[in-house]
Structure 1
């Protein structure tokens, strides 16, 4: 993640939710900064770590770390969903076509589709076989997403068993139903 994007998200969160501003705690010591709270939330999301794994790195309790993650996710959706989590209109499609043609030299391209496996460490034993693929060796859940270079996520499909390959994910996804119908 670029520094500019990180500071933009942190500043937007601090403006929306007073939790993300630095303020004194019960002992009248200065609390955690906006950057520390955003860092712990993003680290949990990026590295799939548990809340108490960051206590030595950021000197933050597991309870505070969990609250940072919860509020971060809730407020990011509140802040950016109307702009970045919606279907593209005709103007957006034209802008995406032009941007991809200029960058990749490939006309008619809206975005890049990708499937990502997220480790599911608390997978129920009865479902382990369905969610485990041989190359990973542990249960995963698949996130399918289409995003453009301006961070606009115009499609996401989450929760498929990790044993599926990309073609099976596309067959189950609703991404092509608008095109086919």
Structure 2
């Protein structure tokens, strides 16, 4: 069933609410709603748009604008932030359920591709040394914590049997994941 969605009006509303020179909602509200600060949000969007042509806005055969880069990325990031379905934001962003799911899948792939060399890699010796130096004077004893980042040293004696194999690192009784105990 075809539903007319005014993509241009939805983009204008989103831009006016959050990204204009004098936005309706403050940076604090942006952070609360998107679970990140606006500069980080824009950095992710710009990297993704440069990496994947799907996120670039186009015009159709009739000359109408497609869904904007901002709408596509906002739909996907909101789905991740709120752990909800893709049609949850249709009324505000005018992005269909199908397009929302597609945006989410493509955004996740694009984030991995765009940021894997910088953030999604094993830390080098220099990276570890830098982290230790940054936190050397902190009270939380970062060097002691660094050894347990992958949770290999946590004993999991109260782990439910159904979860036991899912959250272990291969070491007997150790737990990988959130400390929910």
Shorter chain as normaliser: what TM range?
Answer: 0.5 to 0.7
Q: Does residue 8 in structure 1 map to residue 43 in structure 2?
A: yes
Provide the C-alpha distance between the structure 2 equivalents of 1:114 and 1:46, rounded to a whole number of angstroms.
24
Q: Does residue 172 in structure 1 map to residue 175 in structure 2?
A: yes
Provide the C-alpha distance between the structure 1 equivalents of 2:127 and 2:57, rounded to a whole number of angstroms.
38
Superposed counterparts of 1:91-106, under 5 Å: 91-102=126-137, 106=141
CA contact (8 A) 2:150 2:176 kept: no
Which ranges of structure 1 fall in alignment gaps of 5 or more residues? 116-128, 132-158, 162-169, 175-181
Does the C-alpha gap of structure 1 residues 43 and 107 become closer, same or farther in structure 2, counting only changes over 3 Å? Answer: closer
Provide the C-alpha distance between the structure 2 equivalents of 1:112 and 1:37, rounded to a whole number of angstroms.
37
CA deviations 1:83-127 (Å, max 9, x no partner) are 212221110011111222356563525499599xxxxxxxxxxxx
Does the C-alpha gap of structure 1 residues 102 and 67 become closer, same or farther in structure 2, counting only changes over 3 Å? Answer: farther
What is the deviation of 1:39? Answer: 0.7
TM-score relative to the length of structure 2: 0.59
Does the C-alpha gap of structure 1 residues 27 and 18 become closer, same or farther in structure 2, counting only changes over 3 Å? Answer: same
CA contact (8 A) 1:100 1:110 kept: no
SS at match of 1:52: helix
Pairing partner for 1:74 from 100, 109, 114: 109
CA deviations 1:7-50 (Å, max 9, x no partner) are 11101111111111111134321122212111111111111111
Of Structure 1 and Structure 2, the greater strand share is in 1
Equivalences, count: 129
Which ranges of structure 2 fall in alignment gaps of 5 or more residues? 1-35, 152-160, 168-172
TM-score relative to the length of structure 1: 0.59
Pairing partner for 1:19 from 54, 59, 75: 54
